[in-house]
A and B are shown apart, each in its own frame.
Chain A
Amino acid sequence: MAETMLEVKDLKVYFEMKKGFAQTLFGKPQILKAVDGVSFSIGRGEILSLVGESGSGKTTTGKAILQLAPVSGGSIRFEGEEMTEKKDLSEFRKKAQMIYQDPYQALNPRQYISDIVGEPLDVNGLVTTQEDRDRRIREALESAGLTPAEDYMYRRPFELSGGQRQRAAIAGSLIMKPEFVVADEPVSMLDASIRTGIVKMMLEERDRKGVAYLFITHDLSLAWLISDRIAIMYLGKIMEIGTADEIVRNPKHPYSRALLDIMPVPGKILTEKRKILQGETPNAGAVVVGCKFCGRCPEAMEICSKTEPENVEISPGHFVMCHKYAAKMTEAERQGGKHGNPETSE
């Protein structure tokens, strides 16, 4: 793997839930564990997808990395530098950018596209002359696929279609020439016919400039298509992480398998009933003992509701958080130990 750019270790984001007046006085504050001990790393030019249902903490993870959400614990190291305690984030802000989900809300309706895209330049004082500013805005718009840029620069957001708006929003993120971008469901609001164009444009940016992405999505097939690695999140924890092919072809965690099972296959007429998980993701504020997925897991064992499973590396780079594999591993380790090879990773 390429040089590590971002390293997240045991990241925790807790929110205190606001309750009624009487409860604030006498009750214990209820803690909502949006992100509860997440670790991963992203290399230069790598794309890691965070996949999960709503409420699983994907967006909060992305925001916490960019220091846009309060970090309750853990460490975030960007290019070797610890970010959680750093006061002056201006350098980091130039290097790390975010793309938001909803292009209808992300753009100021009263501004011209050129001002929206050029704002980061003004804020950071990166350009001195008008020509320079215009040139960079034009470059950004054209690399985002809005060509010719002159046609779009002096329009307002309402004059653009959804796809064009998202391109403009992405141009605004890429104008800073970031090294790392958190893309929060950048295409989920768009039509399928426009989606791939935008995804391709983001990938080109990676190929040309080595931008690394944390790609947040609920669409596993899209994640598989574009990313190097995939992390499956459930209730604030990463259940399984591995290379894209490994997760899709060889999923281990029952939750990953359930997610894959319901992927519709275009054109296939279903012969057998698919296995759909019953129930819904519980509220993240609820206290769960043991494995977070245990309440909905079709393969839950007794131990699952008592102790929390550990992260097990079942093959290089492929981690699963599930008791089923923990048991197998200890057995394998024991056997390995007999053969005089007690080597454990980390």
Chain B
Amino acid sequence: MQLLEVKDLKTYFTTSKGKAKAVDGVSFTLDYGQCLGLVGESGCGKSTTVLSICQLLPKEGKVEGGQIFLEGVDYASMSEEEIKKHRWQDVSIIFQGAMNAFNPVKKVGWQIAEACILHQNMTKEQAWERAGDLFEMVGIARERVTQYPHEFSGGMKQRAMIAMALACSPKLIIGDEPTTALDVMIQAQILELLEKLRRELNMGMILITHDLSILSETCDKIAVMYAGKIAELGTVDDIFNHPMHPYTKRLLDCFPNIHSTERTIPDGIPGYPPNLTDPPEGCRFCPRCAEAIGRCSTEEPEFLQVGPQHFVSCHLCAKGGEQNG
């Protein structure tokens, strides 16, 4: 059985200008011990996708369609009460702003112990003990459980956030831009730690980022999102070495490679992502796409399988597929 299966997930936000289709028909699967990278520009629906999985959406947002199966249990149809039992035990999330995610007037260790007491019915002593164990697991000295957040550096707070996410031994851990606010060296340390923990605990992991370059070393699969849809989904090799979707190709070109011989400044992608309350007809990338053909602006492309684990949503690939097949 798959650990996570997301089927045609649709999450819409109600805004004063109408419904914003933040996530519009996203499907993917994830196995135990696997890591999926969700990548895309800001506002493409990466965070909304995972917040829908955890049912942590703000009140304006609502899952309007689709299914989320975690170990065969449909999360999308659960009531808030039922979700509470599962949240943190099955799925936990490492939030983006490690700097601000802790309560500044409570001891870091207590904030972790609290999760254990609430979700695993531990006694206070057991919970403190568990917090200490978790601290060691993420590479912080055990004694520091009694310290307050302001005594921690940024990287250490992020480590403590990871410890908190691991508190109830979840099966799926989600990192929402876990390294964006950190220095390059700390970023490398944190990514290495996440990788190690994932292998040791055989957890599934979803890593959200806008930095494609860090994904090749940590992920098994990558989903490239654009304007609420998955443009391309495949293994790391598929995405980096055989990208099919024009957006993926352009996005890959945006990252300078320090090991290339020539210093050429990449072109970037002209234009800006579309407004999701009124997305363009047809393919959503069409207005920015250099390779667009006639029907791109009228017909929405299907999510086609082009390799064993490689899916693309583009008319050009559909045409190519027919020719090759």
Chain A positions near chain B (C-beta within 8 angstroms): 53-54, 161-164, 191-197, 199-200, 203, 218-222, 224-226, 244, 248, 258-260, 262-270, 274, 276-278, 280-281
Contacts and interface: CB of A to CB of B under 8 A. Distances in A.
B254 A195 contact: yes
Interface in B147-162: 153-156
A233 B93 CA distance: 34
Contact of B254 (A164, A193, A260): A193
Interface of B: 41-42, 153-156, 183-189, 192, 210-214, 216-217, 236-237, 240-241, 250-252, 254-259, 263, 265-270, 272
Given A161-B272, A226-B265, A269-B236, 18 more contacts: A54-B183, A164-B272, A191-B42, A193-B41, A194-B272, A196-B266, A199-B265, A200-B268, A218-B184, A219-B184, A225-B256, A225-B265, A244-B263, A262-B187, A266-B216, A267-B252, A268-B217, A280-B185
A199 B241 CA distance: 26
A162 B257 contact: no
A243 to B, nearest CB: 11
Contacts of A164: 272
B211 A269 contact: no
Contact of B240 (A163, A200, A220, A267): A267
Nearest to A270: B217
Contacts of A265: 213, 216, 257-259
What are the nearest 10 A-B pairs in CB distance?
Answer: A267-B240, A196-B268, A193-B269, A192-B254, A53-B183, A264-B213, A221-B258, A262-B188, A191-B41, A197-B268
Contact of B251 (A193, A244, A268, A280): A193
A269 B155 contact: no
Given A161-B272, A262-B188, A268 B265 contact: no
A24 B141 CA distance: 32
B188 A266 contact: no
Nearest to A273: B192
A218 B258 contact: no
Nearest to A161: B272
Contacts of B237: 269
A262 B156 CA distance: 19
Given A193-B251, A258-B185, A268-B216, A224 B265 contact: no
A52 to B, nearest CB: 9
B151 to A, nearest CB: 12
Given A191-B42, A225-B263, A53 B212 contact: no
Contacts of A195: 254, 268
Contact of B188 (A203, A244, A268, A274): A274
Contacts of A203: 265
A288 to B, nearest CB: 17
**Residue of B217, B252, B255, B258 with most chain A CB atoms under a 10 A cut-off:** B258
Contact of A192 (B156, B185, B255, B270): B255
Nearest to B39: A192
A281 B183 contact: yes
A100 B255 CA distance: 22
A277 B257 contact: no
